[in-house]
Amino acid sequence: MKIEGYLEDIDFISDIHDPTVIYAEFTVPSKDERPPYKMFAHIDDDSLKAFIRRFILPDIKENVSVTELLQEVKDEILLWGNPDRVAPRYRTAGTLRHGWIEYDLNDFDRQYVKVNSKGWKISSSHKAKFLKRNTLGSQACPVHTDKNLIDLLKPLVNTDRDSLVLFSCWLAQAFCVGSHSALLIMAEQGSGKSVLTKIARRVVDPSNLKADTMPTKKDDLFTLLSNSYFLAFDNTDELSKEISDIFCSAVTGATMAKRKLYSTNELGVFELHNTLVLNGIDILPSQSDLASRCLLLKLKHIDEQTRKTESEIEDIFVNSLPDILGAIFNALSDAMTIIKTLSPTRLPRMAEPYKELLAIAIALGVSQSEFERIYFANLAEIDKERSGIAVVQAVVEFMTSGAVKGRGIEDTVKNLFMKIRANYSGNRGDLPPNAAHFGRKLRRERNALEAAGYVANFDDTFSDGTHLKIYKNK
């Protein structure tokens, strides 16, 4: 929308979800050898104010301020509306189904990667409206490569082949706007989960912030989600139902209302479309809605003989990043053609993101049957982890092993965990890695344990730690 008067060289556009939110698009003149370029910013952004001060105010003879000029624009749009509406994007735009993706490198030359079914290229032009937040980091320049993404990521991901395939596909899909499964990186200490979380962020959406901190207030989380694309939370503990519900909306895409100011009842509308990573020792959501929107990546323990320093991993990553990005754009380009004729044999709850993952997997050389096996085995693993089946089985096995005299046993959670773990005949990797997580999971599974014939009672009043009493039902 053009505003007659001093600011007629600026296009003002309202948000597609909230017309009271106004953006501006303007062309910054060339300087030295740098060509002119378009900027897109919020109406209150400092870059727009700088543009007005530098290129408009000097030609105005009247005594008028930047604030007054912009207030006139706001008043006109709020009173008479704005036919021009836009859904702004952070970092990436487009989908496989649309047949195009644009990715903001945010480098000094203001370059973008443009992907279609014929390939990809680096360009200074773009059609998406990208907002530049101050935390947006610059990305490495991708290179055209014949290397496969799975092979490039193998030295950086401490996991098995199936999980590596799933992670590679998830990482490439993160460049597509739309619904995504949240990635849960679960491992004990010393498995490299924090390093891998940082790598995922730097591949998809490098930031000037080292890590995202989980907000304690709902409104703060809304603000973080609505002003970000990729969010990665390190060493995450158990999520509340309220946080889980918000994350469900964020990964599948939603518009949500929130009060703009505490002094008024006016609501602002926020669009949430996020790619989400959570890591921790025992982070599986207890809420089934979020769990059904997740993929699980388990990392192996790294022994002292094979462990690399963080600086060694950094060198490997930095050297391979241009190839990793190029391999991702290759896969996305091929997947745009593959997805048009794709016919999955079965569809999970997250049907659309699954089809994108499947198309990307085929583009990476993974057969449809193999990826379907990997994907649905991962969902089954999540259900198994959430259900706490192994914990209940281990307790029942211990209680019937002859190690318990009488109807029951009482000891600290730590001591009982060590005894139960040592007695377990199944895969000990299925059990929680330490006593604290064992106790937490057993609290959640007390009904299942009761159905198996045993009762578990916790007592937090002892000085030597929480006591656990397990005994057989009468």
Reduced 3-state DSSP string for the chain: CECCCCCCCCEEEEECCCCCCEEEEEEECCECCECCEEEEEECCCHHHHHHHHHHCHHHCCCCCCHHHHHHHHHHHHHHHCCCCEECCECCEEEECCCCEEEEECCCCCCCEEEEECCEEEEECCCCCCECCCCCECCCCCCCCCCCCHHHHHHHHCCCCHHHHHHHHHHHHHCCCCCCCCEEEEECCCCCCHHHHHHHHHHHHCCECCCCECCCCCHHHHHHHHHCCCEEEECCCCCCCHHHHHHHHHHHHCEEEEEECCCCCCCEEEEEECCEEEEEECCCCCCCHHHHCCEEEEECCCCCCCCCCCHHHHHHHHHHHHHHHHHHHHHHHHHHHHHHHHCCCCCCCCCHHHHHHHHHHHHHCCCCHHHHHHHHHHHHHHHHHHHHCHHHHHHHHHHHCCCCCCCCEEEEEHHHHHHHHHHHCCCCHHHCCCCHHHHHHHHHHCHHHHHHCCEEEEEECCCCCCCEEEEEECC
**According to the model, what pLDDT value does residue 240 have?**
75
User: In this predicted structure, what is the pLDDT of residue 467?
Assistant: 93
> Lowest-confidence range among 20-29, 93-102, 172-181, 183-192?
183-192
Q: Pick 409 or 214 by higher pLDDT.
A: 409
**What pLDDT score does 262 carry?**
47
Distances 197 to 236, 276, 302, 310 between C-alpha atoms, Å: 12, 10, 16, 13
Token couple for 79: 């009173």
Closest by Cα among 283, 297, 277, 253 to 182:
277
**382, pLDDT greater than 90:** no
The span from the CA of 33 to the CA of 123, in Å, is 17
Task: For residue 266, name the pLDDT band (cuts at 50, 70, 90).
Answer: low
For residue 264, what are the CA distances in angstroms to 223, 258, 261, 268, 357? 18, 11, 6, 11, 44
State the CB neighbour count (10 A cutoff) for residue 118. Answer: 10
Query: How confident is the model at residue 342, as a pLDDT?
Result: 94
Mean pLDDT of 98-106: 95
Q: 7-21, 49-63, 332-346, 434-448: which range is least confident on average?
A: 434-448
The burial class, CB within 10 Å (0-12 / 13-18 / 19+), for 447 is exposed
Q: Which pLDDT score is estimated for 430?
A: 76
Mean pLDDT of the chain: 87
When pLDDT is cut at 50, 70 and 90, the band that residue 210 belongs to is low
How confident is the model at residue 287, as a pLDDT?
62
Residue 258: pLDDT band (50, 70, 90) is low
Residue 263's pLDDT is 44
Contact (Cβ atoms closer than 8 angstroms) between residue 178 and residue 253: yes
Decide: 411 and 399 in contact? Cβ < 8 Å: no
Within 13 Å and on the Cβ side, how many CA atoms surround 9? 14
pLDDT attached to residue 4: 66
Average pLDDT over residues 463-467: 89
Question: What is the structure's pLDDT at 363?
Answer: 98
How far apart are alpha carbons 42 and 21 in whole angstroms? Answer: 8
Compute the radius of gyration of the chain from its Cα atoms: 26
Mean pLDDT lowest for which of 61-70, 94-103, 154-163, 226-235? 226-235
C-alpha distances in Å from residue 380, one per residue of 153, 201, 355, 385: 25, 27, 18, 9
Q: What does the CA dihedral 426, 432, 433, 438 come to, rounded to 10 degrees? A: -120
Q: What is the pLDDT of residue 3?
A: 65
Is residue 170 a contact partner of residue 181, using CB atoms and an 8 Å limit?
yes
Q: Are 316 and 349 in contact (CB under 8 A)?
A: no
Residue found by looking up tokens 């973008």 in the block: 112
Q: Look at residue 216 in the predicted model and tell me its pLDDT.
A: 76
Residue percentage of the chain with pLDDT more than 70: 93
pLDDT of residue 369: 96
Tokens 């079914």, located at residue: 117
CATH number of 142-385: 3.40.50
Residues of the chain with CATH 3.40.50: 142-385
Average pLDDT, integer, range 346-354 = 91
* Full-model pTM: 0.82
Q: Provide the angle, in degrees to the nearest 10, between the axes of the packed helices 46-55 and 66-80.
A: 120
State residue 147's pLDDT score: 97
